[in-house]
Amino acid sequence: MLCEVWSLRHFWLALAKHDLNERYRRSFIGIGWSLIKPAGMTCILTLVFANVFQVPAIEYAPFLFVGLVAWQFLSESIVQGCNAFRLANTYLRVRPVPIGIFPLRVVLSAGIHALIGFGAAIGVIAVLHGFESLGALWALVPAFAILTVTAWGLACICGIVNTLYSDTQQIAEISLQALFYATPVIYLPESLHSSGWLSTLVWCNPFAAYLELIRRPMLHGELPSAHACMLAVAFMAIAATTAWLAIRCVERRLALWL
Amino acid sequence: MAQIVLGNVDLLYPTKVHSRPTLKELLFSFLGNYGQASKMVQGLDSVTLRIEGGECVGVLGRNGAGKSTLLRAIAGVYPISAGSCQTDGKIASLFDIAAGFEWNATGWENIELRAYLQGETPTTLRDRLDAIVEFTDLRDMLDRPLKCFSTGRIMLLSFAIATCFDTEILLIDEFLSTADVQVREKAIERMLEMIRANGIVMVASHDLAFLRQICNRAIWLEQGRVREDGPTECVIESYLSSAQTKKQVPLAA
């Protein structure tokens, strides 16, 4: 399946490029919005939560910004992924293609926004604090790869389920809202009571592990914990395997359902 | 050489394809028989065909006879339920004028998208771009979004992309019905070139004059079965006389 996906790389890359052009067509700031949106949110939330958590704004703002960018990537991939196959109807009627390329198109489009955000975050952190260990930044490469494969897997699963049951997107949006509060995007994991239920929830939440995979090297110049790595890799494996099985199951019949 | 071989092909599809149960229906189905059960419709029924390179085959039949389903099954878009379907040769399909295009993208972007969808690369596209533009004669329009194009021009663009990359099997479903005389002549000339080069052209159409003009063989489908397969003129004659008989039966009664 991956060989077929690779052989059509020019097609899905052109689709992702078209999506970005389409999203910012006639916009004055264009793709700059991918930076302005999380930056604006970071400013507003820092004003409030830096006070609530009693941390200096200069430390809290990069923590929050990186978290928001990573969360935005995952949630956009899942929500937009729900419609990946419905939007692909026009192409699936022309010739049989590996259907995994359509969720990949969504993930790539969201990934380009995320890369711009992470690039800006690295620049800002370098100016404000400098990096204690540049070597730890290399840990971001596998972290982005794990995040991308997970997002692709989840987008495939949501896309297939949504093609069968169109209520899926609404359920995904509500679930993501709930998951947002179970993930330390806004709050600091250290601020939770270690014996509380929320702390336990965060401990076994793979989305929290993904945030750690990116925040630790970027903000503290440290490698992520073994627990976060194992949780992230295990969830990625589950998402990728489930997506592969689901695709194998429906690939030939999908054109009939659309 | 291009070849299409179908052996006892059956194609079934569910009637609830376009109205799959919602979550509500699914949940309530545990309480009883909520909603209609999904029935299977026979799209193709024991279709056996062998088409060799150099043949231009017209597919005719009444609405719902299975013409489009047959072409989509050959293209691999629809999965066959039983039998075997083997094709040898590079396939391009023209099933739907909107298929494979993005309306807000420019003509140039759409050429790229459609060519890449057919498995081409930037290198192979670069080699054929001039040929595509020359065939369509739309160079001045290609900077505009596709939604500014007339239906005939979109069709012409689609036809040019489908046939400019050494296509060996061309599958066309009622595609040229909206074309003007010039476009039609251009398309016919291109199809004849393909046939001379030992390619295969399959055209599903209700336009019998058009089928007479280009096809050397015709297949008459009825309720998903091959009713008659032979020289175009003979098959069209049988088809027309059958339609005539059906018209006369109620009058006689």
Residue A249 is assigned to a structural domain of this protein: yes
What is the number of structural domains in chain B? 1
Residue A15 is assigned to a structural domain of this protein: no
Residue A9 is assigned to a structural domain of this protein: no
- Whether pLDDT at B86 is above 90: yes
List Cβ neighbours of B120 (8 Å cut-off, separation of 6 or more).
Answer: A10, B128, B165
Tokens matching residue A226:
């073994």
Residue B113 is assigned to a structural domain of this protein: no
Residue A108 is assigned to a structural domain of this protein: yes
Listed residue (A172, A164, A166, A165) closest to A249, CA to CA: A164
pLDDT value at residue B37: 54
Rounded Cα distance between A150 and A218, Å, is: 20
**A200-219 per-position pLDDT tens digit:** 899 999 999 999 999 999 98
Residue A103 is assigned to a structural domain of this protein: yes
Of A166-170, B24-28, B162-166, where does mean pLDDT reach its minimum? B24-28
Amino acid type, A228: A
Q: Taking CA B41 as the corner, what is the angle to CA B248 and CA B177, rounded to the nearest 5 degrees?
A: 60
**B206-235 per-position pLDDT tens digit:** 999 999 999 999 999 999 999 999 999 999
Structural domain span for residue A40? 28-257
Tokens matching residue B197:
């080069």
Listed residue (A98, A121, A127) closest to A244, CA to CA: A98
pLDDT band at B253, cuts 50/70/90? very low
pLDDT value at residue A93: 85
Q: Which residues of B touch A8 (CB under 8 A)?
A: 116-117, 119
- Could you tell me the CATH number of the domain that includes residue B9? 3.40.50.300
Test A92 with B121 for CB contact under 8 angstroms.
no
Q: Which residues of A touch B117 (CB under 8 A)?
A: 8, 11, 91, 94-95, 97
pLDDT band at B247, cuts 50/70/90? low
**What CA–CA distances, in Å, run from B241 to A72, B61, B73, B189?**
65, 13, 29, 30
Ramachandran category for residue B200: left, alpha or beta (phi over 0 → left; psi -120 to 50 → alpha):
beta
Residue B32 is assigned to a structural domain of this protein: yes
Identity of the residue in B23, B79, B93 whose CB atom sits nearest the CB atom of A167:
B23
Residue A124 is assigned to a structural domain of this protein: yes
Residue A8 is assigned to a structural domain of this protein: no
Distance from the Cα of residue B84 to its chain's centroid = 19
Give me the mean pLDDT over the B3-21 stretch: 79
The larger pLDDT score, comparing residue A224 to residue A130, is at: A224
pLDDT value at residue A35: 86
pLDDT band at A10, cuts 50/70/90? very high
Structural domain span for residue B26? 1-89+198-253
Q: Does B97 touch chain A (CB under 8 A)?
A: no
Residue B147 is assigned to a structural domain of this protein: no
Give me the mean pLDDT over the B36-62 stretch: 88
pLDDT band at B98, cuts 50/70/90? confident
Identity of the residue in B17, B77, B91 whose CB atom sits nearest the CB atom of A93:
B77
- Whether pLDDT at B72 is above 60: yes
- Closest approach of A92 to chain B, Cα-based (Å): 7
3-state secondary structure chain B: CCEEEEEEEEEEEEHHHHCCCCHHHHHHHHHCCCCCCCCEEEEEEEEEEEEECCCEEEEECCCCCCHHHHHHHHHCCCCCCEEEEEEECCEEEECCCCCCCCCCCEHHHHHHHHHHHCCCCHHHHHHHHHHHHHHHCCCCCCCCEHHHCCHHHHHHHHHHHHHCCCCCEEEEECCHHHCCHHHHHHHHHHHHHHHHCCCEEEEECCCHHHHHHHCCEEEEEECCEEEEEECHHHHHHHHHHHHHHHHHHHHHC
**B109-132 per-position pLDDT tens digit:** 999 999 999 989 999 999 999 999
Residues 173-212 of chain B with CB under 8 A from chain A are none
ipTM of the complex: 0.83
- Answering whether pTM is above 0.90, one says no
Q: Which residues of B touch A87 (CB under 8 A)?
A: none
Of A143-147, A201-205, B98-102, B173-177, where does mean pLDDT reach its minimum? B173-177
Residue B75 is assigned to a structural domain of this protein: yes
Q: Which residues of B touch A93 (CB under 8 A)?
A: 72, 77, 95-96, 99-100
Rounded Cα distance between A112 and A16, Å, is: 9
pLDDT band at B177, cuts 50/70/90? confident
pLDDT value at residue A196: 80
pLDDT band at A166, cuts 50/70/90? confident
What is the number of structural domains in chain A? 1
Do residues B47 and B225 lie in contact, with contact meaning Cβ atoms separated by under 8 Å? yes
